[in-house]
């Protein structure tokens, strides 16, 4: 190993005498999932700040001289590092000035104040971490404060590496493969250093998001490179440039970089919740996401990953749910061309989608001749290929629209002037295969045509749909309303939308 790696190894060794003054080791647990390999997760989400960042912050700050402590420290962070610095400041009685972007949610600011109390001063500056970091460095230079770096510091990395020591000391190794998420690369470099020394044959991979892969860019370029704008879905690892220290360490110690998509991360979070009742933050699940993505290459292996944090914003849960898998299948969206006539939708569903798990409908009438229905389905890659072939065989025109803006934001345009004597129904039906189709087949006849359809699968036992139906004449409309059941087999309630909501829908 290089001299730099030896220095980091020694830093981890010495950090053990400091970090355990704060907290005990976190658990290393095996995930009881139906996988071809054994998956072990290091539960850093159970640490004192629900993330691993306290280890590095405390180790670095505990090494300050008396003079440095008296002057105070400065840091920049939008999340877990700020909380680790705040906790350390309180425990060591050091004043900490923490720069955070102005967009930092109140919940994260409040967490910093809760951990740091009177020892912490929050300064909101800029719109991004980079802007806040520059301001923090300027404050450090101006006021003679020590800057506590979130990753590119041997002492910080030394603290982070103690979690790898705990994995070794657990007695559950040796491990064949490790997947370590990378933001700036501090935790990944430190853990790789320790694991490589203990398990010489282990394969170690860094994990990055596909649109925030700054370490991969550094590997390709041979030097840290600013990749510019990064995706912030996994905000804890959204770093534009690899560290000057972490880059050579990761390049020396790792066998490669695995990139994962946001959907991969959502699937990992869903898997951890369903199998282990663990709810990590998005960045915290990236190692598991990589393991699941490469499951076919890991048969029989013992795989180590880190749940690096669980400080998730509650509002993210809806996004995660929408982008996760359903029974192991991916969500795909198709826009299908259907003749604008009664019964056309049911014909297409029966001809092409009968074997699919339907998750979503988006449709509003905009033409008298044709209808373009957006249909969301849960399908594997093989099932999607079969569905595509079936649509082509049936000569049904369609487009693959997964990820398009109007689908993502559920924009459903419609022309109320084209709707003839419409009735809007709120249908609450039991979420089981065929229940929604059965209601439509039973209650829609030759005189009824769907002019609006809004349904989204939410994972509840009861699904809810808003369905607009138009009629050829007033008599047909009245007959439909007279025979419309309020409840029945497969559905809990069917209510005609009246009042202000109906007027908004029909433009009256």
Domain made up of 3-51+156-323: CATH architecture: 3-Layer(aba) Sandwich (3.40)
Alpha-carbon torsion (391, 392, 398, 404), positive or negative: positive
Per-residue confidence (pLDDT) for residue 320, from 0 to 100: 82
Q: Is 486 a catalytic residue?
A: no
CATH topology of domain 54-150: Rossmann fold (3.40.50)
Active site residue 308: yes
Determine the pLDDT at residue 401: 94
pLDDT at 156: 97
Q: Are strands 177-181 and 203-209 parallel, antiparallel or unpaired?
A: parallel
CA neighbor of 320 nearest in space, from 344, 357, 285: 285
> Is residue 44 within 8 Å of residue 307, measured between CB atoms?
yes
Q: Vertex 160, ends 220 and 149: CA angle to 5°?
A: 70
- Distance between CA atoms of residues 154 and 59, nearest Å: 10
Quick one: CA dihedral 194, 197, 202, 203, positive or negative? positive
Residue ranges per domain, the chain?
3-51+156-323, 54-150, 330-506
The closest of 287, 219, 210 to 247, measured between CA atoms, is 219
**How far apart are alpha carbons 391 and 372 in whole angstroms?**
14
- Helix residue spans in 254-380 (DSSP H): 262-276, 286-293, 316-323, 344-352
In degrees and rounded to multiples of 5, residue 394 shows phi and psi of -80, 0
Per-residue pLDDT of the chain (508 residues; tens, 9 = 90+): 899 999 999 999 999 989 999 999 999 999 988 899 999 999 999 999 999 999 999 999 999 999 999 999 999 997 899 999 999 999 999 999 999 988 887 888 999 999 999 999 999 998 888 889 999 999 999 999 999 999 999 999 999 999 999 999 999 999 999 999 999 999 999 999 999 999 999 999 999 999 999 999 999 999 999 999 888 889 889 889 999 999 999 999 999 999 999 989 999 999 999 999 999 999 999 999 999 999 999 999 999 999 999 988 887 887 887 777 666 677 899 999 999 988 888 888 888 888 788 889 999 999 999 999 999 988 888 889 999 999 999 899 999 998 899 998 899 999 989 999 999 999 999 888 778 888 888 888 888 999 999 999 887 888 899 999 999 899 999 999 999 999 888 888 999 998 666 667 666 5
Neighbours of 403 (CB within 10 A): 10
Q: Which of 53, 108, 293, 365 is catalytic?
A: 53
* Catalytic annotation, pick one of 238, 308, 324, 437: 308
Contact 205/179 with Cβ under 8 angstroms? yes
Q: Do residues 108 and 102 make contact, with C-beta atoms less than 8 angstroms apart?
A: no
Q: What pLDDT, on a 0 to 100 scale, did the predictor assign at position 499?
A: 66
Going by C-alpha positions, the residue among 64, 243, 77 that lies closest to residue 146 is: 64
Task: Give the separation between CA 8 and CA 17, rounded to whole angstroms.
Answer: 15
Q: Which residues pair with 399 in a beta bridge?
A: 335
Q: Are 77 and 85 in contact (CB under 8 A)?
A: yes
Angle separating helix axes 162-169 and 3-19, nearest 10 degrees: 80
- Contacts (Cβ under 8 Å, ≥6 apart) of 40: 28, 29, 30, 31, 167, 172, 175, 302, 303, 304, 305
> What tokens were used for 248?
């050579």
Residue 411 DSSP class: -
Cβ neighbourhood burial of 114 (10 Å; 0-12, 13-18, 19+): middle
Are the C-beta atoms of 34 and 278 separated by less than 8 Å?
Answer: no
**Residue 373 host element (H or E):** strand 370-379
Asked if residue 184 lies in contact with residue 91, where contact means CB atoms within 8 angstroms, the answer is no
Give me the phi and psi of 406, to 5 degrees please.
-65, -30
- Residue among 324, 287, 100 at smallest CA distance from 209: 287
What was the pLDDT predicted at 253? 97
DSSP 3-state of 304: strand
Domain 330-506 architecture: 3-Layer(aba) Sandwich (3.40)
How far apart, in whole angstroms, are the C-alpha atoms of residue 86 and residue 79? 11
Helix or strand (DSSP H, E) at 197: helix 186-198
Fold match between 3-51+156-323 and 54-150?
A: yes
Report CA torsion sign: 157, 160, 162, 166.
Answer: negative
Query: For 470, phi and psi rounded to 5 degrees?
Result: -110, 160
ω into 398 cis (within 30 of 0): no
Torsion of CA 390, 393, 396, 398, to 10 degrees: 60
Q: How far apart are CA 397 and CA 334, in angstroms?
A: 10
Rounded CA-CA distance 160/130 in Å is 22
Percentages helix, strand, coil for the chain (3-state, rounded to 5) are: 45, 25, 35
**CB distance 399 to 450 below 8 Å:** no
């Amino acid at each position: 190993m290089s001299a730099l790696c030896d220095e980091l190894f020694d830093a981890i060794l010495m950090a053990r005498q400091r970090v355990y003054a704060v907290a005990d080791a976190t658990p290393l647990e095996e995930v009881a999932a139906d996988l071809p390999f054994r998956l072990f997760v290091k539960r850093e989400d159970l640490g004192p700040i629900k993330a691993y960042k306290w280890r590095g912050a405390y180790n670095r700050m505990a090494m300050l001289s008396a003079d440095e402590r008296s002057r105070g420290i400065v840091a920049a962070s939008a999340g877990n590092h700020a909380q680790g610095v705040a906790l350390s400041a309180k425990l060591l009685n050091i004043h900490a000035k923490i720069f955070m972007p102005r967009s930092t949610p109140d919940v994260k600011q409040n967490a910093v104040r809760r951990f740091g109390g009177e020892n912490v001063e929050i300064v909101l500056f800029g719109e991004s971490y980079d802007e806040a970091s520059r301001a923090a460095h300027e404050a450090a230079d101006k006021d003679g404060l020590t800057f506590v770096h979130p990753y590119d510091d041997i002492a910080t990395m030394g603290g982070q590496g103690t979690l790898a020591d705990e994995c070794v000391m657990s007695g559950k190794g040796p491990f064949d493969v490790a997947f370590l998420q990378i933001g700036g690369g501090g935790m990944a470099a430190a853990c790789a250093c320790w694991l490589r020394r203990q398990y010489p044959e282990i394969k170690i991979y860094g994990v990055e998001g596909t649109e925030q892969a700054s370490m991969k860019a550094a590997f390709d370029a041979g030097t840290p490179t600013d990749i510019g704008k990064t995706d912030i879905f996994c905000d804890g690892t959204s770093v534009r440039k690899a560290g000057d220290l972490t880059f050579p360490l990761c390049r020396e110690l790792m066998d490669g970089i695995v990139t994962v998509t946001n959907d991969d991360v959502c699937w990992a979070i869903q898997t951890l919740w369903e199998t282990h009742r663990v709810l990590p933050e998005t960045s915290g699940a990236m190692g598991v996401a990589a393991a699941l993505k490469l499951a076919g290459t890991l048969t029989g292996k013992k795989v180590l990953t880190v749940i690096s944090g669980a400080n998730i914003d509650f509002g993210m849960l809806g996004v995660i749910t929408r982008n996760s898998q359903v029974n192991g299948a991916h969500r795909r969206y198709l826009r299908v061309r259907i003749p604008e006539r009664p019964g056309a939708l049911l014909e297409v569903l029966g001809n092409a989608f009968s074997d699919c798990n339907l998750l979503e409908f988006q449709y509003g009438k905009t033409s008298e001749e044709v209808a373009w229905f957006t249909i969301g389905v849960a399908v594997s890659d093989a099932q999607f290929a079969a569905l595509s072939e079936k649509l082509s065989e049936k000569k049904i025109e369609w487009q693959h629209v997964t990820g398009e803006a109007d689908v993502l934001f559920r924009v459903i345009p419609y022309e109320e002037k084209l709707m003839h004597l419409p009735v809007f129904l709120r249908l609450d039906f039991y979420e089981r295969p065929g229940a929604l189709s059965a209601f439509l087949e039973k209650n829609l006849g030759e005189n009824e045509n769907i002019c609006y359809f809004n349904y989204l699968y939410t994972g509840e036992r009861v699904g809810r749909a808003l369905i607009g139906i138009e009629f050829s004449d007033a008599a047909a409309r009245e007959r439909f309303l007279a025979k419309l059941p309020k409840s029945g087999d497969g559905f809990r309630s069917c209510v005609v939308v009246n009042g202000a909501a109906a007027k908004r829908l029909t433009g009256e």
